[in-house]
Chain A
Amino acid sequence: MAEENIQIIVHDDGRIEFSTHDIKGEACMEELEKILGELVDDIDKAKTTSEYHEPPSQRKTNISAKKQQKTGSGSS
């Protein structure tokens, strides 16, 4: 089973970039909201990927799913 994880990058100028891996369904948004909700107002505008639409019980390791939002200039 792939490891469920959340990757968060804090850039030099304070911008935050994040992605979730192998967290299926709405759980990933819920987890992000818990962790970054206070820092990122419009977290619900993050791009969703195929994993978001998968049921939580379904596990696929061959999907390189990513959810990402940048709260910065988007230049990185």
Chain B
Amino acid sequence: MPCNRGYITNWNWTEAQRPIIDLRTVYLALKKLGIMWNEAPQSLNNWHEARNSLTSSQKVAQRIISLSRLANLVNEIQTLNIPQITLSNGMILSWRNGSYSIGKQERIRSGQQTQTGAEISQFVTNFDAAYASIEIEMQNELDNILEDIESGKSQLAAEEIEAHRARIDSEKNALNKSRQQLRETRMKHVETVGETLGYAIRKQRIGKKIKYVLVRNP
């Protein structure tokens, strides 16, 4: 029987370059990197399938159904509560304070240096690039649809325009809501911890940013 004595098991975590908040973007970024999300929620698989099935060759009625389905699935995905995402490469995305951190379990001898630090760092870099590129791609896709509708270029029936708008709204709202939650979590954290540590806190809104100045009380 193998003896594990002398080994410790810990998790090596690191935050990505940007906050990871959107499950759909995570799903597509992983696909882009060729990494499986082990046991991904069915609603995400359905969403991906519905998104891919949207083609101009579909009949209008069929496209309207697909668009409505997409909008519903986006709303459904938004309600998912997934504290941990396990990947086929052994990495884990763990929900912490409003966004996901990336980590990997490692078994090292007590006193040894971490073996997974460089591997995680490399994956974070790759994932970050894929996430950013998918985020832009999804945003552009919606913007282009909206632009075509508003310019009259798409020449769609009123019903289809309505379905497109509903889908775009659901996607944009989902992302905005995630960002807002993250912002609020982080603001609350700064305010609570700062106050607990005895700082006087000045809060200032600068455009869309919130600036805190924490001053040590004399």
Contact = CB atoms under 8 A, between A and B. Distances in A.
Report whether over half of chain A's contact residues are helix, strand or loop; otherwise say mixed. Answer: loop
B186 interface: yes
B171 to A, nearest CB: 16
B36 interface: no
Contact of A10 (B15, B96, B183, B197): B183
B85 interface: no
Contacts of B212: 7-10
A34 B193 contact: yes
Interface string B186-216: 1101100110010100000010111111111
Interface stretch (A48-56, A57-65, A67-75): A67-75
A67 B186 CA distance: 19
Given A10-B183, A12-B179, A14-B179, A41 B213 contact: no
Contacts of A15: 18-19
A14 B210 contact: no
Interface in B84-108: 96-99, 101
In which size bucket is the chain A interface? 20 to 34
A4 B187 contact: no
A40 B96 CA distance: 10
Interface string B156-186: 0000000000000000000000010011001
Interface residues of B, number: 34
Most buried by B among A11, A12, A13, A72: A13
B75 interface: no
Contacts of B54: none
Interface string A11-35: 1111110000000000000010011
B68 interface: no
B78 interface: no
A72 B19 contact: yes
A13 B179 CA distance: 5
Contact of B14 (A41, A72, A74): A41
B13 interface: yes
A12 B183 CA distance: 7
B35 to A, nearest CB: 21
B101 A14 contact: no
A64 B211 CA distance: 19
21 contacts: A4-B215, A4-B216, A7-B214, A8-B190, A9-B209, A9-B211, A10-B186, A11-B208, A11-B209, A14-B19, A36-B190, A38-B97, A39-B97, A39-B186, A42-B14, A71-B15, A71-B18, A71-B19, A72-B18, A73-B18, A73-B132
